[in-house]
């Protein structure tokens, strides 16, 4: 019985991993249950053993994307916060290219308002956790307006990556990210 439960949990995790990647690259509308199950190496019929509906899958997959991002935040903000390192990483060429494994905010922010309510709730919770972690780091730096500043910096970082990914010319996108990194860090006194 325990083996069966462990297998089911592992299978569900595999489905969520595939769904999280699909959401990051194609948005929530880019998820086809049949295609997703095929990518996970499973049958379409097995889907309902793990999720009540496509909307249920989307909500859990959105949550999974933020779980993945929490590891990035922990790397830079646990212990002695390295906000400059976080900004450099978030607005890097590598992050620009790692859409399928990167932060969900640049790809999903534009459609969050149209997500099913459970997915939107998870999205909003993920944004809040990201902002709160940044706010705590800014407070550690002695910034008295840390909450407002965290909201502004997060919006600028997400907006910069979103716009960079919309550009046809990679070199122009990298220059855009470089300028954004520099200006954000200068505004925070990190350069």
CB neighbour list of residue 5: distance below 8 Å, 6 or more residues apart: none
pLDDT recorded at residue 29? 83
pTM, two decimal places: 0.89
pLDDT recorded at residue 1? 60
Angle at 92 between CA 126 and CA 64, to 5 degrees: 25
**Alpha helices in 78-166, H assignment, sequence order:** 83-90, 93-97, 105-108, 117-140, 146-166
The domain made up of 53-188 has a fold known as Tetracycline Repressor; domain 2 (1.10.357)
Residue ranges in the chain modelled with pLDDT below 70: 1-2
Q: Give the pLDDT confidence of 14-50 residue by residue, as tens digits.
A: 899 989 988 988 888 877 888 888 888 888 888 888 9
Per-domain residue ranges for the chain? 53-188
pLDDT recorded at residue 45? 80
pLDDT recorded at residue 2? 67
Q: Could you write out the DSSP letters of every residue in 33-61? A: HHHHHHHTT--GGGGGGT-SSHHHHHHHH
């Amino acid at each position: 019985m325990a083996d069966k439960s462990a297998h089911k949990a592992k299978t569900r995790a595999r489905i969520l991993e595939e769904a999280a990647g699909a959401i990051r690259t194609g948005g929530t509308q880019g998820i086809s249950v049949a295609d997703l199950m095929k990518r996970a190496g499973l049958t379409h019929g097995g889907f309902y053993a793990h999720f009540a509906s496509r909307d249920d899958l989307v909500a859990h997959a959105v949550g999974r994307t933020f779980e993945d991002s929490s590891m990035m935040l922990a790397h830079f903000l646990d212990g002695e916060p390295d906000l400059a390192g976080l900004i450099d990483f978030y607005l890097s060429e590598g992050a620009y290219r790692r859409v399928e494994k990167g932060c969900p905010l640049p790809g999903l922010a534009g459609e969050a308002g149209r997500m099913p309510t459970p997915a939107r709730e998870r999205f909003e919770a993920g944004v809040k956790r990201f902002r709160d972690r940044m706010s705590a780091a800014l407070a550690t730096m002695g910034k008295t307006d840390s909450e407002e500043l965290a909201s502004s910096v997060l919006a600028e970082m997400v907006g910069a990556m979103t716009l960079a990914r919309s550009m046809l010319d990679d070199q122009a996108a990298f220059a855009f990210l470089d300028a954004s990194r520099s200006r954000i860090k200068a505004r925070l006194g990190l350069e």
